[in-house]
Structure 1
Amino acid sequence: MTNASPQQRNGADVVVETLEQRGTTHVFGVPGAKIDRVFDRLVDSSIQTVVCRHEQNAAFIAGGIGRMTGKAGVAIATSGPGVSNLVTGLATAHSEGDPMVALGGSVAVADRLKLLHQSLDSVDVCRPVTKFAAEVDSPAATAEILSAAFRAAESGRPGSAFVGLPIDIMNGPAACSPIRLRSVIEQGAGPDVALAEAARLINDATNPVVLLGLMASKPRVAQAIRALLAKTVLPVVGTFQAAGALSEREFEAFGGRVGQIANQPADKLLESADVVITVGYDAVEYWPSIWNSGSERPIVHIDVVPAMIENDYNPSVEILGSIEANIERLSRLIVRKGLSVQSSGLLRHIAEDRTRLITEAAAQGGSPVHPLRIIAELQKVLTPDVTLCSDMGSFSLYLSRYLTSFRARQVLISNGQQTLGVALPWGIAACIVRPAEKVLSVSGDGGFLFSGMELETAVRLKLNLVHMVWIDGSYNMVAAQEELKYGRHSGTDLGPVNIVKYAEAFGATGFQVKGADDIAPVLRKAFETDGPVLIGVNVDYSKNAALFEMVYDGSLV
């Protein structure tokens, strides 16, 4: 702990002591002159400072910490471009519901309107992509603004917050003390009238379907959902972010994941619903204009925040407050005999299709490797003691749609901003939060170099992180969509990267998969190797146009 006396305490001491009182164990960032007093005070604290190679990645790591712990991760950067480099990470955390707080240096308060080196209206830059953004404008306000930032980031639907720290206030005498957290915000259940109306709609429905969203994968919410389904069997689909909300026990009622394009068997199950029960769902995950266009069927909205009303999403009833408490209360009121004939038939078809797909995927051979063969091999290693972090690209659609997870927050994916470069930083976060687990992050060769420099950070921290790069030499997700729209692709071709040499240049270990049958032994060897490991695998994306076709077709083979 820092131990500055009240007479000696400066603004930076208040910042660092506040972080300690909030339980912060790590901060991630890049230093600079306008924020160096905070970095200096961190040296004498209980907090580990992790220097990153880019501020954007520092924000990604902090967001990953927040997603896995529920407590805000912390990123720190200097003024000007240091702060502006945080913005993509702030926007990602804001869209994904990940609690994080970013601290940014700034010029002295008296100089904020002058054209000085690295002067920037950082609050106006960060406000559109955060739940809270403010600059400390007086020594007396330091603790108050920091406390407000953490409260905003962690409460309701979590997200990002930003605090600007002027250099003169950080260096000058403190006029306040850290504010100790005295209460925890706990929401209760919603009103009885809303719960009763929701139960009536569900009980009277022929084919009700549950749509799980990003908040459904929070561990306590997942437990409540599982308890509900143990009492009353309801067909379920989930967005990409809802991965792991269900256990193997409820899997027979699970139609699969939906998102991006309505071309999955799970979409047909969702389309069949005469009542949709959304749980912790955010429209950014899967637009209502795709899955509910023109429909007048009732929607039951269960969440911590009110629905954002739009043409295709206008709930009949909203149950707000603690999601887990509301699900538990609702389960007492739902009285149903079982699945309808239609729902049973669709779920049976989905199960048969899933079995066929697994069989066909396992039989895919050769090199470059078919994506589903890689999925089949990854499924074998995704045991309960593994965390998987996915970047964004064509491969992420395969992971999201076909990889099965039975543990809440076991699979991390960007489903709001669909941000390139998140996987490796999130992998670093997972190694820190879950040091006893195996961590596998996955990216394409396009997204990999958005954050590949943080491999040095992973080496420096001696993390046992395995990162797999799917190589095809292009921004394939963009190319596949362009091919469907224009009959050709543009601006998507990339040059080669030797993954093994790249890894070795940073002091990591590198492996190149030579063919489909090489995946399993390479993965096994990678997890047995100390320190960070990169795996390169050449992937066959020749059939990827099917990912974006608007058809109900359960097979991509």
Structure 2
Amino acid sequence: MQTASDLLVDCLEAEGVETVFGVPGEEIEDLLFSLRGSSIEFVPTRHEQGAAFMADVCGRLTGDAGVCLSTLGPGATNLITGVADAHLDKSPVVAITGQGNRERLHKESHQALDVVDVFEPIVEWNTQIGEPEIVPESVRKAFKLAEYEKPGATHLEFPEDVAGEEIDAAPIPTRDRVRRPDPDDESVERAATLLEAADRPIVLAGNGAVRTRAADSIRAIVDRLGIPVVATYMGKGAISDRDPASLMTLDSGADGEAARAVDRADCVVAIGYDIAEHDPEGWNPDLEKTIVHVDHEPAEVYRHYNPDVEIVADVGATVAAIDERVPSDACSLWCADLHDSLLEAATTGPDRDAPISVRNVLPLLREAMADEDVLVSDVGDHKMAIAQSFPTYEPNTCVISNGLASMGIAVPGALAADLATDANVVAATGDGGFLMNAAEIETATRLDCGFTIVVFDDDDYGLISQKQVDHRDEHFGTGLTNPDFVTFAESFGIEARRPETWDEVERAFAEAVPSDDLTLIDIRLEE
């Protein structure tokens, strides 16, 4: 007879789970030993937040729910930032937390919190597994809802007394994921008519354009019609930034040239657009644009985003259906000159006497990376530069947190990306975000991961300083002091360097990025 914890692990195996990230705890002892006897690798991390970020990025890159595990109380609350990131960034994650014996939960008790209630606002669904008999249904539902479009996080609480109970049951077999239907003809015809009637149409590619694997359909319609495309930060790579139709992201260019192009557009085809990423008031302030909404869910009710047509259906199939209805001469690449200037600015290396800044460094980093290599960006001033000025050529190769926009994701996220892909991986982070989860370097060395950590080092929470200066002409409360990052990295037994000239920066990237070694490059920014 198996225990409930054995059954839960059997259910995880049935869902195809290969890795669980987490921090061990007393209340999950049974579950840990059940994992030991399974095909699933349990990866002990240095912090639960790191475990949740790893699950988040695994889910984002693979489309299969990443799994993170913690004990009760502080372990569960430490997961919250990464779980909330998955929630707002629409990444499939299943979080599992331990809990004490049920007989003590009705009263004040050591480390006991109502974790299910705490998680309620930041997950698609969560429950306590209060009886062994409900393990199969609970696990199946958690994965189904986490992976169902739009995806997100779900949570299971597993009390320790339930985990040890005996049960004779089996996992519920998985089935093909629920697929949205093809679009209805009437809506497609209305969308095609609006697109054909527009003088300056544009595609706004959001997170869902990449997440739903609709890039091929988007590239096909763009190639045939010659319609320009601008992306949100999480939509980067929906089309290649080498494509003449690409205007990179909404904020790209000097003084937001791409945003000015969107200002000129009279029809916006929003594909997989997520308001949590980018407020539509910024690109539709006067409520004058015709909007076609293509997504798996109806549009949020918002004064500045009130689509003329909403097509709630499979995204790729919808784009292909619109493509079939619009004559090839209906659109034009009405801002091709802007693409050339944007790409040139983003790929031209710095003058040798230029200061070492994030924007000046990025062309050299891009040159060292293959098209399919993955960059995981932390949050900070460097994220803005990466989002706006780092050309992206393939979907899911520039991972940016822009829903919750949480600092600390880069190092654990790059570890997950290294496990999930065969490509070379770069973690780009500021000194603030880096030290939030830098301990996961030890986890990476234990797993024999090989990726490159680029730390942009300015002794400051630079993005907040800049915003304060913009608002008040001064900044306060943002200054930092840092360890010697090279010595710090070397203490983990990994390669580290601090290039001080442009030739050294270029050489450091060229050697580190394609290698199989775990390397840290400390880029000391100049004023």
Shorter-chain TM-score bucket reads over 0.9
Q: Deviations over 1:457-498 (max 9, x none)?
A: 011111111101000000000000001111111110000221
1:396 corresponds in structure 2 to 383
Q: Would you say the 8 A contact 1:265–1:350 is kept in 2?
A: no
Asked if the contact 2:119/2:126 (under 8 Å) is kept, the reply is yes
Q: How does 1:236-315 map to 2 (within 5 A)?
A: 236-247=229-240, 251-258=243-250, 263-315=255-307
1:231 aligns with 2:220: no
Q: Which residue of the other structure, out of 500, 503, 519, is the alignment partner of 1:517?
A: 503
- State how far apart, in whole Å, the 2-side matches of 1:97 and 1:494 are: 32
Question: CA separation in 2, counterparts of 1:159 and 1:261?
Answer: 32
| Cα offset, 1:248, TM superposition | 6.0
1:92 aligns with 2:85: yes
122-131 vs 216-225, greater mean Cα deviation? 216-225
Summarize the alignment of residues 57-96 of structure 1 with structure 2, pairs less than 5 Å apart: 57-96=50-89
Pick closer, same or farther for the CA change 1:415–1:158 going to 2, 3 Å: same
- 1:262 touches 1:291 (CA, 8 Å); kept in 2? no
Instruction: Look up the SS of the partner of 1:492 in the other structure.
Output: coil
Q: Residues 529 and 275 from structure 1, CA distance in 2 versus in 1: closer, same or farther, beyond 3 angstroms?
A: closer
Match of 1:256, SS state, is strand
Partner residue of 1:25 out of 3, 18, 22: 18
The one-letter amino acid paired with 2:88 is S
Aligned partners of 1:28 and 1:52 also within 8 Å: yes
One-letter amino acid matched to 1:307: A
State the alpha-carbon separation in 1 of the partners of residues 43 and 251 from structure 2. Answer: 35
SS at match of 1:86: helix
CA distance in 2, matches of 1:461, 1:199: 51
Shift of 1:398: 1.1
1:438 counterpart (413, 419, 424): 424
The letter of the residue matching 1:115 is: E
Moved more, 291-300 or 280-289: 291-300
Could you say which residue in structure 1 is the equivalent of 2:329? 337
Q: Secondary structure at the match of 2:176?
A: coil
- Whichever residue aligns with residue 270 of structure 1, its letter is V
* Residue 199 (structure 1) shift: 0.9
Q: Pairwise mapping of residues 340-489 of structure 1 onto structure 2 (< 5 A)?
A: 340=332, 344=334, 346-356=335-345, 358-359=347-348, 361-365=349-353, 369-434=356-421, 436-489=422-475
Contact 1:203–1:336 (CA under 8 A) maintained in structure 2: no
2:52 is the counterpart of 1:45:
no
Partners of 1:29 and 1:501 lie apart in 2 by 27
Q: What amino acid is aligned across from residue 27 of structure 1 in structure 2?
A: V
Aligned residues of 1:35 and 1:78 also touching (Cα < 8 A): yes
Equivalent residue of 1:247, what SS? coil
Task: Tell whether 2:27 aligns with 1:34.
Answer: yes
Aligned length: 527
Give the distance between the partners of 1:132 and 1:525, measured in 2 at CA. Answer: 45
Deviation of 1:372 after TM superposition, in Å, equals 2.3
Deviations 1:129-174 (A, max 9, x none): 1111111122211111111111111001111111111111111112
Residues in 1 aligned to 2:440 and 2:477: alpha-carbon distance in whole angstroms: 26
Which whole-Å deviations, capped at 9, do the CAs of 1:314-348 have from their partners, x for residues lacking one? 111111121011111111111252545xx62x331
Q: Distance in 2 between matches of 1:218 and 1:210?
A: 16
Question: Cα distance, 1:52 vs. partner?
Answer: 0.1
Spell out, residue by residue over 1:377-414, the C-alpha distance to the aligned partner (whole angstroms, 9 max, x if none): 01202213421111011111111111111111011111
In 1, Cα distance between the equivalents of 2:514 and 2:318? Answer: 44
State the alpha-carbon separation in 1 of the partners of residues 508 and 258 from structure 2: 33
SS in 2 for 1:35: helix
The CA distance in 2 between the partners of 1:265 and 1:323, in whole Å, is 28
Call closer, same or farther: CA 1:356–1:504 in 2, change over 3 Å.
closer
276-285 vs 111-120, which moves further: 111-120
Distance 1:364 1:401, change over 3 A: farther
* Aligned equivalent of 1:550: none
Give the unaligned 5+ runs of structure 1.
1-7, 543-557
Matched, 1:508 2:494: yes
Q: Which amino acid aligns with 2:442?
A: E
1:259–1:285 contact (8 Å) kept in structure 2: no
Q: 1:185 aligns with which of 178, 184, 190?
A: 178
Structure 1 SS opposite 2:303: coil
Contact 2:346 2:390 in 1 (8 A): no
Q: Which amino acid in 1 is paired with 2:70?
A: A
* Uncovered stretches (5+) of structure 2, i.e. residues with no partner: none
CA contact (8 A) 1:233 1:338 kept: no
Structure-2 separation of matches of 1:120 and 1:429 = 29
Q: Percent same amino acid at aligned positions?
A: 31
Instruction: Give the drift of 1:423.
Output: 0.7
Asked if 2 retains the 8 angstrom alpha-carbon contact of 1:364 and 1:373, the reply is: no
Query: Is 255-264 or 32-41 further displaced after alignment?
Result: 255-264
Match of 1:201 in 2: 194
Instruction: Note the aligned Cα RMSD (angstroms).
Output: 1.8
Distance verdict in 2 for CA 1:187–1:353, change over 3 Å: closer
The residue type paired with residue 96 of structure 2 is L
Q: Secondary structure at the match of 1:27?
A: strand
1:528, 1:268 → 2: CA distance? Answer: 37
Runs of at least 4 residues of structure 1 off by over 3 A? 259-263, 356-359, 527-531
Counterpart of 2:309, as a letter, is V
State the one-letter code of the partner of 1:432.
Answer: L
* Mapped partners of 1:220, 1:140: distance in 2: 37
